[in-house]
Amino acid sequence: MKTIIVIVGGSGSGKTTIAHQLETHGFERLITTTTRSMREGEVNHHDYHFVSKEEFKNLDKIEESEYAGNHYGLSANEVDTKLTQHHQLVICMDMNGARAMQRKYPEYTKVVFIRLTKELLVERLNRRGSSEEEIQSRLEEAKKKNEFGMPEQVDVVIENKDLNESVQTILQLTQKQKEKADR
């Protein structure tokens, strides 16, 4: 039984950190494509496939979304290849992406929503070294996308106060799905 864990949450909620932790537990990460510029420390084809607007337009995508003025999308090639090779996958997306995955892969998809306060967003982005301008735009986008609210149609909501606890909760979710499939 395959599992695709989709991690959704505002900027600084810890999506990327959790996804990296899941990789150490054998999960394969689906790398998405974006037109945003690379942050310090990010590596092309590891954090994202970084492309120009023109390249993005021509990409064969299964879904796409706009976030704080940049384009993001999951390429058909990325998901087709990795789904045939791996059983446990993880991807970070906004809620539009999560809905698209639920529609396209209803059997496999589990959506994990990370709850975040405005204060924590600012604190985490400051720690990540984001500029004041970036923090403001991500705060606005999180409000617009309702990322401070209580979401509907997700499989689990976590606070991510403790990273290990978050990872364990997600591993348990995967285990439950596997047990259900084995029955």
Ligand X SMILES: Nc1nc2c(ncn2[C@@H]2O[C@H](COP(=O)(O)OP(=O)(O)O)[C@@H](O)[C@H]2O)c(=O)[nH]1
Ligand Y SMILES: Nc1ncnc2c1ncn2[C@@H]1O[C@H](COP(=O)(O)OP(=O)(O)O)[C@@H](O)[C@H]1O
Distance CA 116, CA 13 (A): 6
Told to check if 99 binds ligand X by CB under 6 A, we report no
Comparing CA positions, the residue from 141, 139, 156, 160 lying closest to residue 6 is 156
Q: Please name the residues in contact with 116: beta carbons below 8 A apart, sequence gap of 6 or more.
A: 9, 10, 12, 13, 142, 147, 148, 160
- The verdict on 169 binding ligand X (CB under 6 A) reads no
Site mask for ligand X (CB under 6 A), range 135-154, x = bound: ---x----------------
Q: Show the site string, 103-132: x = touches ligand X by CB under 6 A, - = not.
A: ------------------------------
Q: What mask, x for binding ligand Y by CB under 6 A, covers residues 5 to 34?
A: ----x-xxxxxxx-----------------
Neighbouring C-beta atoms of residue 122, cutoff 10 Å = 18
The candidate with the shortest Cα–Cα distance to 18, out of 33, 35, 6, is 6
Provide the binding-site residues for ligand Y, judged by CB under 6 A. 9, 11-17, 124, 127-128, 160, 162-163
Interaction site with ligand X (CB under 6 A) = 11, 15-16, 32, 36, 63, 65, 67, 72-74, 92-94, 96-97, 138
